[in-house]
């Protein structure tokens, strides 16, 4: 089937590409709010969000590591739902700690102006879906699946904003948990590095 025109979504899907080199320009809070809306934004008064969730349980939560964000002190932030526009700084992240958890020397973990951490409360999902598969695997499978939907939403929002981005999952979970010091019970599933792409040479 051939068509003359492609839709805006198809254009974004064609353009999306992982980017691992960023320039020095800071991101705006507006950039981040659009990304976070795509990731887990509330889209209905019943609490439903941009990305699907099994039984509408929503075991995922996003955090932001700010490095070069206009108006934000560097550090790890917990973010409220988009309409609340609340940013609570939890603590600083020491330079080099994310890279120390990388399995592949992913320097973009340290270079990118922002890293969005997709984290999960694994136990709530394991317990909730224990009747489907009592060994806990069902809940864990759903969490990984839901994180994938969130990451693709983030990629498409970044592409639309002409930002560069890459998802990083190749890291030691325990070392990363120590580096991030996420509030209990959250553990990271994936890190999304984002910023203005460095000009191609
Ligand atoms: C589950 C998953 C894990 C990934 N982990 C990493 C990673 O640890 N480091 C990295 O640089 N890229 C990582 N990537 C990005 C892939 O390398 C990238 O998507 C792939 O090379 C295809 O290129 P494209 O995204 O430009 O289409 C990951 C992608 C996926 C889907």
Is residue 200 domain-resident?
no
The CATH number linked to 29 is: 3.40.109.10
The answer, yes or no, to whether any atom of ligand 1 lies below 6 A from the CB of 169, is yes
Angle at 44 between CA 35 and CA 130, to 5 degrees: 85
CA 47 to chain centroid, in Å, comes to: 20
Is residue 136 domain-resident?
yes
Bridge-based pairing state of the strands 60-66 and 114-120: antiparallel
Establish how many alpha carbons lie within 13 A of residue 146's alpha carbon, considering only the half-sphere containing its beta carbon: 27
Give pLDDT, residue 114.
97
Of all helices (H) and strands (E), which one includes residue 90?
strand 87-91
Distance 17 CA to ligand 1 centre (A): 10
Q: What gap in Å lies between CA 110 and CA 174, rounded to an integer?
A: 18
Q: What gap in Å lies between CA 113 and CA 124, rounded to an integer?
A: 32
Is residue 66 domain-resident?
yes
Res. 201: pLDDT tops 80? no
Around Cβ 132, how many Cβ atoms within 10 Å? 13
* Residue 61 token pair: 């939560």
Around Cβ 5, how many Cβ atoms within 10 Å? 6
Domain interval for residue 74: 18-195
- Determine the average pLDDT of the residues in 14-40: 96
Phi-psi region of 153 (alpha: psi -120 to 50; beta: other; left: phi over 0): alpha
Is residue 28 domain-resident?
yes
Q: Atom 17 (ligand 1): residue with closest C-alpha?
A: 18
The answer, yes or no, to whether any atom of ligand 1 lies below 6 A from the CB of 116, is no
* Structural domains counted in the chain: 1
Give pLDDT, residue 87.
82
Is residue 5 domain-resident?
no
Is residue 158 domain-resident?
yes
Is residue 201 domain-resident?
no
The answer, yes or no, to whether any atom of ligand 1 lies below 6 A from the CB of 168, is yes
**Residues forming beta bridges with residue 114, ordered by sequence position:** 66, 194
Q: What gap in Å lies between CA 17 and CA 11, rounded to an integer?
A: 12
* Best of 146, 152, 166 for a ligand 1 pocket test (most atoms within 8 Å of beta carbon): 166
* Best of 115, 167, 194 for a ligand 1 pocket test (most atoms within 8 Å of beta carbon): 167
Instruction: Tell the burial category of 60 from Cβ atoms under 10 Å away from its Cβ (0-12, 13-18, 19+).
Output: buried
pLDDT 10s digits, 129-164: 999 988 889 999 999 999 999 999 999 999 999 999
Task: Write the DSSP string, 158-175.
Answer: HHHTT-EEEEE--B-HHH
pLDDT 10s digits, 37-81: 999 999 999 999 999 999 999 999 999 999 999 999 999 999 865
Distance 36 CA to ligand 1 centre (A): 20
Is residue 165 domain-resident?
yes
Alpha helices in the chain (DSSP H): 8-15, 29-40, 97-101, 108-111, 122-128, 137-160, 173-180
19 CA: nearest ligand 1 atom: 26
pLDDT 10s digits, 83-114: 455 788 999 999 999 999 999 999 999 999 99
């Amino acid at each position: 089937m051939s068509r003359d025109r492609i839709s805006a979504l198809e254009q974004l899907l064609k353009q999306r590409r992982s980017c691992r080199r960023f320039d020095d320009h800071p991101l705006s809070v507006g950039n981040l709010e659009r990304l976070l809306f795509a990731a887990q934004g509330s889209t209905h008064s019943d609490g439903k969000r941009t990305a699907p969730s099994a039984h509408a349980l929503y075991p995922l939560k996003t955090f932001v590591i700010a490095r070069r964000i206009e108006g934000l002190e560097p550090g790890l932030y917990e973010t409220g739902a988009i309409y609340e526009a609340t940013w609570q700084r939890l603590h600083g992240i020491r330079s080099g700690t994310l890279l120390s958890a990388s399995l592949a020397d992913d320097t973009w973990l340290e270079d990118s102006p922002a890293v969005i951490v997709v984290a999960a409360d694994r136990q709530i999902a394991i317990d909730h879906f224990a009747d489907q598969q009592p060994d806990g695997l069902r809940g864990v499978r759903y969490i990984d699946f839901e994180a994938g939907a969130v990451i693709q939403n983030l990629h498409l929002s970044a592409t639309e904003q002409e930002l560069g981005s890459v998802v990083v999952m190749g890291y030691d979970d325990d070392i990363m948990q120590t580096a991030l010091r996420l509030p209990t019970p959250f553990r990271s599933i994936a890190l999304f590095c984002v910023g203005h792409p460095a000009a191609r040479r």
